Structure 1
Amino acid sequence: MAEAQEQTHDRAACKRVDDGISRVFQLLGKRWTGPIVSVLVSQPAYFADLRRAIPGISERMLSDRLSELALAGLLVREVDEGPPLRVSYRLTEAGAALEPALRELALWAKTHLPEGSPCTVATRT
């Protein structure tokens, strides 16, 4: 019997993570990416507005994450010819389709990661 349990355990240990889940978390699991998308879900935003909406993010990090999201096809960068020259960002249809999942994650966090928990305290910088 112990041998049968060991074989079952070995098979379970070899089970691979779904490729889709891996791809999603490789992109959205990066620090700051979720908050950027969540801000853009409600409306397009200028770079400066995004920076103000996400306390603690540097200009360089915001620029890097926006580039990654654009490369992944989740957002579009639009240059508004000036003066002054301004750059705005809006979600594509694929990016906007994340809204229900983000809403569910926010509800989950309110239930399972209450304010003041070690996870929420550590991310406030």
Structure 2
Amino acid sequence: MADVGDAHHDPRMCDAGLARAFEFLGKRWNGVILGTLLGGSASFSEVRRAIGGISDSVLSDRLAELGRAGLVLRTVCEGPPVTVVYRLTDRGQALLPALTELSVWAADNLPAAAR
């Protein structure tokens, strides 16, 4: 007897996990922020400088969103001066192979953006 779920499966449908991943990582700046933090922990200003073109308010919103998703950890370091450092959690680090492969694919297959 065939599984009921298989009866309605369209082989052209995008995998649900892949769709969720791109919905989240495809949100402007999320993937780039994660890629920036793959190099190690960084302060807010270091992340902003590394990315360029992102406003403080959008960066703050995206970092908070990535934190709620369990991918980024925000740590307040007592001063003076008091600083805030962001780093990837283990879940965020687990994206390293996928982000690395996407970067290699983009370098090989997408034209460089004019600056």
Which of the numbers 58, 63, 66 marks the counterpart of 1:66?
63
Q: Residue by residue, what CA displacement relative to the aligned partner does 1:9-31 show, whole Å, maximum 9, x if unpaired?
A: xx85x853222112211211111
Paired residues, what number? 107
RMSD: 1.7
2:80 is aligned with 1:83: yes
Gaps of 5+ in 2: 1-8
2:27 is aligned with 1:30: yes
Name the SS of the counterpart of 1:52 in structure 2. Answer: helix
Output the TM-score relative to the length of structure 1: 0.79
Aligned structure 1 segments of 4 or more residues deviating by more than 6 angstroms: none
Name the SS of the counterpart of 2:38 in structure 1. Answer: helix
| Partner Cα distance (2:19, 2:64) in 1 | 20
Q: Greater helix share, 1 or 2?
A: 1
Deviation at 1:39, TM superposition (A): 1.0
Deviation at 1:114, TM superposition (A): 2.4
Gaps of 5+ in 1: 1-10
The aligned residue for residue 42 of structure 1 is 39
Identity across matched positions, percent = 51
Output the TM-score relative to the length of structure 2: 0.85
Aligned ranges 1:96-115 → 2 under 5 Å: 96-115=93-112
